Structure 1
Amino acid sequence: MRESRFTLLDLFAGCGGMTRGFLGEGNFIGVGAVEIDRTAAATYAANFDVDGRHIFAGDIAGYTDVPRADLVVGGPPCQGFSALGRRDPADARNQLWREFVRVVRESDARMFVFENVDRFAKTPEFQLLRQTASEDGELADFDTQVFRLNAADYGTPQKRIRTIVVGSRVGPVDEPRQTHAKTPGGDLDRWVGLREAFLEGPVVLEPEVRETWLPESLVEFQGHDIPGTFKLRDLHITRNYDLISEVRYAHIAPGKGRFDLPDELQYPCWRRHTRGAGDVLGRLQWDEPAVTIRTEFFRPEKGRFLHPQWENGGDQVNRALTHAEAAVVQGFDDRHLWCGTKAEIARQIGNAVPPPLARAVAHVVAARLAS
């Protein structure tokens, strides 16, 4: 049996969702991280690198002092691949996987985990990544496996499907064992719904919210003052909505969306365009996981982000998810600290890897590294 703890290098680390999951498994210790967004890097440092010794806050192309690591993990920005974006083949973000490959090679890693959106597996860049691990490729000594995983199947209160590519020089891994299912049975629990996540978890997030601002607090990070650090409870904040918006939201029942508004409440552009995403201005459901959380979850017009509390003619909560609720939907708990403005933290939450999903992957990776 080899060493029981393995060194971890996290690229495109964001606020640390991947690291949170891998360190939660107990077999890993972080030795480096790279994140170009300064406030996200500050969040990562607040949780895993308080003295700032191993977080590189900058463009990965400038990351040259690469430490040795057993494992490299990361998810390059997905906007170039996402179905919500332009899917431009020339998007520079689509080429960042090449930097990932470079760091894997320079770190002398035994394994790597590459995470991205579901549709990444259908892109030319995915094929090029697989080719690097084929004969004569830069990672020719790695064998790769591809898994399509839903975060809800691993205890995250969110349906979020991701492509996970595992590369290994030390043998294959098992597919992460599913722990939850839409229809439970055997040793599988039911998917975690929002009622359980918000009202029955370690931190109860009451539907009634009045605060609209983060507390006034600053933290110094690599010579810059950044808002923070904030606890999960500090993120339970809402927005000031105008009356017509609240009236619209009041007409949306759980599981429904913009197509269920009466004509007089439709936006003028929606009257002209009767097709399109049904999730827009949608309301979540108490006993179901949320849909995929995105970076503008605080805008109901951007997706199915209305709070699930709704009773026809009774108690209603006519607002989008708070930052705290969105963080919980992503699988973060009250241990995680946050830095940045409201918009910056929202971006960190929406771009994060759900820690429960990362931990499930960490379990099978650790088993292979230990063998």
Structure 2
Amino acid sequence: MVVKNKLKAVDFFCGGGGMSYGMQLAGIEVLAGIDFEITCKETYLANIKGAQFLNYDVFELSEAELEHKLEINKFDDDLVFIGCSPCQYWSLINTDKKKSEKSKSLLSEFERFVQYFSPGYVVVENVPGVLNRREESGLGEFIDWLVDNDYVVHYEVHNTSEYGVPQNRRRFTLIANRVNELELSPIKSSKLLTVADVIGEKNGFPKVQAGHQDKTPFRHSVARLKDVTLRRLKKVKKDGGNRLGFANDPELQLPCFVGKDSSFKDTFGRLWWNKPAPTITTKFFSVSNGRFVHPEENRALSLREGATLQSFPKSYIFHGRTNEIIARQIGNAVPPEYSRRIAQAIINSRNSIT
């Protein structure tokens, strides 16, 4: 017979709710999101219906306290623990390791809760760096514990573009299962989505100028640009051009790029219409922090465009005092469609039990 889905999840380091939303979309009940960043609370609660937001620093949260607050039990086969800890320390693009040093121990803190509760399923999503440096990050020890405690463990670096997300985003993903003997991995998509599939006028994104501020929940807001930056963008070729378009103009060329035409070419670069977007970082709102210029318009991506490229639905509500806060919520998120495909793999494995 088919097993009825009774799965419930606790989302550690939940941020603005990307992972929780995908889990919920697949049919898993989300009990709570846990995060020390209070600016995520309003966004999380606006979209993850029925869930609690626990504003805690995980270093200061005890296992017994979580057990009491959520009324969850040890060795619950229906329980999913999710740990997508902030990854700045292990990211290749991070340059200031001192600021992010505390984050390098977050995986070990998450392991503490996994060891205490032994949930039926464990999901971890992070930058590939945690695998490349598995001993230093604590990942190797964590995997060893899972295997020793009868979990079947899948772990690999996946590109979310293969999983229904219109974005090249390489992420380490671990799914551990102790309920049956199946190795679970995210469910792949049959179609590669591109930028043209999700943004642009035909997809409900009207043309706007740099500096446009959208006060509606749609958040089609765009960063302002200096006149000289706008002049630079006008020389960048449409649909995939880069900063070499203004490299030979002495008034526009940046001194730091003189003689370095082969370096950092994504800076001031445009997205391609017929390719997935590059990784949407917390700085996607800025033309000088990567290939984040609209394929045709002379501006950076809007907040809503960045969210859409992260696979958030257009109905997703973002709250934040500044555009930068919202951009950080979007860039740090697990793409909800990727999360949904992880959740669906778990659900399918349970429904296959007869």
Contact kept, 8 Å, 1:81 with 1:87, in 2: the verdict is: no
- Supply the distance in 2 between the matched residues of 1:364 and 1:274 (Cα, whole angstroms): 45
Residue number in structure 2 paired with 1:240: 224
Contact kept, 8 Å, 2:233 with 2:299, in 1: the verdict is: yes
- Supply the distance in 2 between the matched residues of 1:93 and 1:368 (Cα, whole angstroms): 32
Is 1:80 the equivalent of 2:89? yes
Contact kept, 8 Å, 1:209 with 1:236, in 2: the verdict is: no
Residue number in structure 2 paired with 1:260: 245
- 2:289 counterpart (286, 302, 321): 302
CA drift of 1:272 comes to 5.8
Amino acid at match of 1:348: Q
Contact kept, 8 Å, 2:158 with 2:170, in 1: the verdict is: yes
Amino acid at match of 1:42: E
> What TM-score, normalized to structure 1?
0.83
CA drift of 1:256 comes to 2.5
Q: Secondary structure at the match of 2:199?
A: helix
Is 1:105 the equivalent of 2:85? no
Residue number in structure 2 paired with 1:13: 14
Q: Which structure's residues are more often strand, by fraction?
A: 1
Residue number in structure 2 paired with 1:61: 59
- Per-residue displacement from partner, 1:188-212 (whole Å, max 9, x unpaired)? 32x21222201477x6112234763
Q: Secondary structure at the match of 2:157?
A: strand
CA drift of 1:39 comes to 1.4
For residues 153-192 of structure 1, the aligned pairs below 5 Å read 153-170=162-179, 171-179=181-189, 188-189=190-191, 191-192=192-193
CA drift of 1:149 comes to 1.6
Q: Secondary structure at the match of 1:338?
A: coil
CA drift of 1:97 comes to 0.4
Distance change (3 Å), C-alpha of 1:291 and 1:118: same
Amino acid at match of 2:253: Q
- Supply the distance in 2 between the matched residues of 1:154 and 1:243 (Cα, whole angstroms): 39
Q: Which moved more, 1:31-40 or 1:320-329?
A: 31-40
- Supply the distance in 2 between the matched residues of 1:34 and 1:243 (Cα, whole angstroms): 42
Question: What is the identity percentage for the equivalent residue pairs of Structure 1 and Structure 2?
Answer: 27
Contact kept, 8 Å, 2:147 with 2:153, in 1: the verdict is: no
Q: Which moved more, 1:39-48 or 1:338-347?
A: 39-48
Amino acid at match of 1:71: V
Runs of 4+ in 1 over 4 A off after TM superposition: 87-90, 272-275
Contact kept, 8 Å, 1:49 with 1:55, in 2: the verdict is: no
Amino acid at match of 2:312: F
Residue number in structure 2 paired with 1:335: 315
Amino acid at match of 1:63: L
Is 1:281 the equivalent of 2:268? yes
Is 1:250 the equivalent of 2:234? yes
- Supply the distance in 2 between the matched residues of 1:176 and 1:126 (Cα, whole angstroms): 26
- Supply the distance in 2 between the matched residues of 1:87 and 1:237 (Cα, whole angstroms): 29
CA drift of 1:369 comes to 3.9
> What TM-score, normalized to structure 2?
0.86
Distance change (3 Å), C-alpha of 1:112 and 1:200: farther
- 1:269 counterpart (256, 281, 285): 256
Amino acid at match of 1:40: C
CA drift of 1:357 comes to 0.8
- Supply the distance in 1 between the matched residues of 2:45 and 2:156 (Cα, whole angstroms): 29
CA drift of 1:10 comes to 0.4
Q: Which runs of 5+ in 2 are unaligned?
A: none
- Supply the distance in 2 between the matched residues of 1:251 and 1:334 (Cα, whole angstroms): 31
RMSD: 2.5
Contact kept, 8 Å, 2:83 with 2:107, in 1: the verdict is: no
Q: Secondary structure at the match of 1:282?
A: coil
Q: Secondary structure at the match of 2:138?
A: helix
Distance change (3 Å), C-alpha of 1:347 and 1:125: farther
Is 1:197 the equivalent of 2:214? no
Residue number in structure 2 paired with 1:40: 40
- Supply the distance in 2 between the matched residues of 1:346 and 1:169 (Cα, whole angstroms): 37
Amino acid at match of 2:157: R
CA drift of 1:126 comes to 7.0
Residue number in structure 2 paired with 1:128: 138
- Supply the distance in 2 between the matched residues of 1:153 and 1:319 (Cα, whole angstroms): 28
Residue number in structure 2 paired with 1:218: none
- Supply the distance in 1 between the matched residues of 2:86 and 2:210 (Cα, whole angstroms): 34
Distance change (3 Å), C-alpha of 1:297 and 1:359: same
Residue number in structure 2 paired with 1:367: 348
For residues 215-230 of structure 1, the aligned pairs below 5 Å read 215=215
CA drift of 1:38 comes to 0.9
Amino acid at match of 1:356: E
CA drift of 1:40 comes to 1.2
- Per-residue displacement from partner, 1:41-97 (whole Å, max 9, x unpaired)? 2211111157xx721112112333223261011211111111101384992211100
Contact kept, 8 Å, 1:133 with 1:142, in 2: the verdict is: no
- Per-residue displacement from partner, 1:180-237 (whole Å, max 9, x unpaired)? xxxxxxxx32x21222201477x6112234763353xxxxxxxxxxxxxx62x2x101
Amino acid at match of 2:315: R
Q: Which moved more, 1:118-127 or 1:261-270?
A: 118-127
Amino acid at match of 1:21: G
Contact kept, 8 Å, 2:211 with 2:224, in 1: the verdict is: no
